[in-house]
Amino acid sequence: MSIKSAPISIATNLRSRRQRLAEIIDFPAILWSGTASSRNFPANLYSFRSSSHFLYFAGLPLENAAIRLEDGKLQLFMDDAVPGSALWHGEMPTREDFAQLIGADAAFPLAELRSHSTEAATIAVQNPTTYQEQAEVLNRPIAPANAPHSIDLELARAIITLRLTHDATALAELRQAATCTVQAHKAGMQATPNAKLEAEVRAAMEGVIIAHNMTFAYSSIVTVHGEVLHNNQYHHALLADALLLADVGAETENGWASDVTRTWPVSGKFSPTQRDLYDVVLAAHDACIEKVRPGVEYQDVHFLAASVIAQGLADLGILRGKVADLVEMDAHALFFPHGVGHLLGLDVHDMEDLGDLAGYEAGKTRSDRFGLGFLRLNRPLKAGMLVTIEPGFYQVPAILNDPALRSKYQDVVDWERLAQFSDVRGIRIEDDVLVTESGSEVLTADLPTKAEEIEQLVQS
């Protein structure tokens, strides 16, 4: 972790966050950062990623640290570097240095955490070493697989209340991540004409993120098989008639994410069929962003995407029937099987470590309707929320060849017409959209979405 990356105002901002927490809960909370995981032997570690809840209140990705929050006060628990570590890792700031930087009210060695743990709530860190340590210190079962209850649930709800909308410091970081991601996508488009493999375009995109000293908010998707939603293979050749779908997002040093998808033609020119379907997805994308404003139910944004896609596919002769009926029977989900987006913040699916506690308003639960079950956000929008808007069109063999689905939708799909669009495997267009008082602001607006502009970037 780099002490130099901390903004000057970090302590002030963190104090305000914990004071807001103190207005909601009246018991202490301890948040652990976690520890780096070993890859293939103890000295070879995966790059450390701090728990997001810790990051939110501690501001810096301190490794193997904990903070105790109570009444707006922060106590930092971490050990100083062991003697001899300077040779391998350089001189590290001391616990006191870090404590001052983040405005801690006190700082202690880790060994003293247990004696400060009485009646404290926590949230399980993903790393097993850490959640086992949490369980030991707090003397009760703690694991990410367990739904939080009692004070842990209260703490989770309080943190969700805070993290659902972003303060100015968070927004500054989120804008940095978005700006870097926009550059990465432009680099990917520009690298395509000279690339032979998906991996080469991925390299151009990730290279931009690495050069900005950022990391990846999630495993990049750079694929000519866009119909595989979370495709992490990069070995396919870039055939001239293919569409390349790239879902790549930067994460700042302090952990704030972006999440952007574009789909472009390898050749630099959409075929007529590709262009037709691209414009359907783009129409859904634009309509959804237009709809984003405080008070709107995010599920209605999802259904708007469904309607625009159903309408577009009907206009192209792929679907048959009235749009309202098609959406009612989930016919759009044959081609748009996922949700229209999710919360974005410190996590690319923000706070998804808490299951649906953050994504779903109290009283709402996941639907079992085809397609709708994958909707990750179902709350009324509020100013300060950051969401993705990411409609798509896919030809997924596992869906379109499913006998039950084919039979159910036999009459509403013109399968022969659909076959004419065989050069489209997957299209997704995704931007990061901030809900503002008056509507919305697209943080990634500098990255074109219009087909002609995309073509120009690929050809440039």
Question: Which residues lie near a second copy (CB under 8 A)?
Answer: 2, 4-5, 37-47, 49, 51-52, 84, 86-91, 126-129, 132, 144, 197, 199-200, 202-204, 206-213, 218-219, 225, 228-235, 337, 346-349, 351-353, 396-399
* Minimum CB–partner distance for residue 398 and a second copy (Å): 4
Q: Which residue's CB is nearer to a second copy, number 11 or number 222?
A: 222
CA atoms of 439 and 124, how far apart (whole Å): 35
- Paired residues of 29 in beta bridges: 69, 121
Q: Is 429 exposed, middle or buried (0-12, 13-18, 19+ CB in 10 A)?
A: buried
* Minimum CB–partner distance for residue 83 and a second copy (Å): 9
Choose among 177, 184, 352: nearest CA to 254: 177
Indicate the DSSP class of residue 237: B
Question: Is residue 125 within 8 Å of residue 51, measured between CB atoms?
Answer: yes
CA atoms of 395 and 364, how far apart (whole Å): 30
* Minimum CB–partner distance for residue 354 and a second copy (Å): 8
Q: Which residue's CB is nearer to a second copy, number 27 or number 234?
A: 234
Q: How far is CA 303 from the centre of its chain?
A: 21
* Minimum CB–partner distance for residue 224 and a second copy (Å): 12
Q: Which residue's CB is nearer to a second copy, number 38 or number 139?
A: 38
Question: Is residue 238 within 8 Å of residue 198, measured between CB atoms?
Answer: yes
* Minimum CB–partner distance for residue 137 and a second copy (Å): 17
* Minimum CB–partner distance for residue 372 and a second copy (Å): 14
Q: Which residue's CB is nearer to a second copy, number 118 or number 132?
A: 132
Q: Which residue's CB is nearer to a second copy, number 151 or number 197?
A: 197
* Minimum CB–partner distance for residue 378 and a second copy (Å): 17
Angle between helices 168-191 and 10-22 (to 10 degrees): 120
DSSP-assigned states of every residue in 178-223: HHHHHHHHHHHHHHGGG-SBHHHHHHHHHHHHHHTT-EESS--EEE
Q: Which residue's CB is nearer to a second copy, number 266 or number 287?
A: 266
Q: Which residue's CB is nearer to a second copy, number 229 or number 283?
A: 229
